[in-house]
Amino acid sequence: MVAELISVGTEILLGNIVNTNAAYLAEKCALLGLSLYHQSVVGDNEARMEDTIRRALERSDVVILTGGLGPTKDDLTKEVTAKVFGKELYEDARTKERIQEFFNRLHSKGKITRNNWKQALVPEGAIVIENQNGTAPGLIVTGEEGTEYEGKRAILIPGPPNECIPMFETQIAPYLSGLQPEGIYSCMVKVCSIGESRAETMVADLMDAQTNPTLAPYAKTGEVHFRITAKAKDEKTAEQLMAPMVQELKNRFGDYIYTTKEEVTLEEAVVHMLEERHMTVTTAESCTGGLLSGRLINVPGASSVLNEAHVTYSNEAKERILHVPHEILVQYGAVSEETARAMAEGACKVSGADASIAVTGIAGPDGGTPEKPVGLVYIGCTVKGKTKVERCCFTGNRQKNREYAVARGLILLREMLLEAK
């Protein structure tokens, strides 16, 4: 089944807001086994919107439209879609009731403006999808037998992500899944400590021979994720199909795999390793300025392993808080292997932690020299008295350099924890 996405809104077309809905829906459609060949963005113009919808319906089975379902005059998605399918609009009593209930919950009784009732108008014969987070319902419009778009479907979803995503997850995804002859199921294998090119080379033969299940790599910051996807009549059968592929990846990547659960992050895996070993960790950050400790604190229950963290941006702070020797800073500089080592070891001593990660570098865009260019970062890690320092040269902007440094710091800690077991 072929699907197509249309994002409605002049604010998207002009770049005033980032089109996150399209990225989210494209990924979800792929996971549902839908073929996605086209995406479009159209402004709030009736003629251009009609042309875009008609063109999409001519080449796709399902057209998913987001946005343009609000109460104002420039919200035209529903009206134009009804026109394309040759359907009249009528006031849906249940939707009107829900709009009233929504305003009552907001203590806005009596303040509903007339144009709000525009959202209670729906195309005849449409499936109305209740919106648990707003006033505009979702709609599924199907072409009638004998009409120009017989059997074609248009699915209309509110634009705000906090309305779009829950509606798709809970109601539209199950509907689309039901249209497929087989269900689509997937699992994830997440790998770190290895680059994308090498990781893909290690599974090239599996990808060349894939049929069902399929294998697809995705590069993330400092990581590579492999999604295994199977078509099957039910989840149990899909799991049986995917199990040999998962095992083969385990055979090939071994400890490079940090999880086979999609919801588990790298920082979560590291925190769990520390918990299992009854160990604590601290951080000593310069150029990352708390980004590393923030990643760890993202994990619920991180307080069981992280008691304190240090941001020592200046040389004075490195000396005073971490006891980095003044001589090291003078002789080698703040961005050096020697300073990273002293930061990591000092952090363990002052905190009493079993492990530490230290980061010092030049994130940019200024401050680099021929000897120490922008993107040069030293990462030190101490685990049970043993210290390693890694020299990294990143090539992104300031934010990306900091993000890569954080990811590499977590990976280095994980590697040393594995060595120490």
Same domain? For 113 and 243 the reply is no
Same domain? For 254 and 283 the reply is no
Same domain? For 66 and 205 the reply is no
Domain stop point among 179, 203, 218: 179
**Number of folded domains that form the chain:** 3
CATH code for the domain in which residue 205 is found: 3.30.70.2860
Same domain? For 343 and 358 the reply is yes
Same domain? For 34 and 102 the reply is yes
CATH code for the domain in which residue 109 is found: 3.40.980.10
Same domain? For 117 and 146 the reply is yes
Same domain? For 223 and 274 the reply is no
pTM of the model: 0.77
Same domain? For 227 and 289 the reply is no
CATH code for the domain in which residue 291 is found: 3.90.950.20
User: What range does the domain containing 335 cover?
Assistant: 266-420
At residue 114, the pLDDT reads 83
The candidate with the shortest Cα–Cα distance to 71, out of 103, 49, 42, 35, is 103
At residue 366, the pLDDT reads 93
At residue 274, the pLDDT reads 98
Same domain? For 72 and 198 the reply is no
Same domain? For 34 and 149 the reply is yes
pLDDT per position as a tens digit, 65-74: 999 999 999 9
At residue 403, the pLDDT reads 96
Low-confidence residues in the chain, pLDDT < 50? none
Domain stop point among 198, 225, 259: 259
pLDDT per position as a tens digit, 67-97: 999 999 999 999 999 999 999 999 999 999 9
Same domain? For 56 and 120 the reply is yes
Domain stop point among 216, 244, 259: 259
Same domain? For 103 and 25 the reply is yes
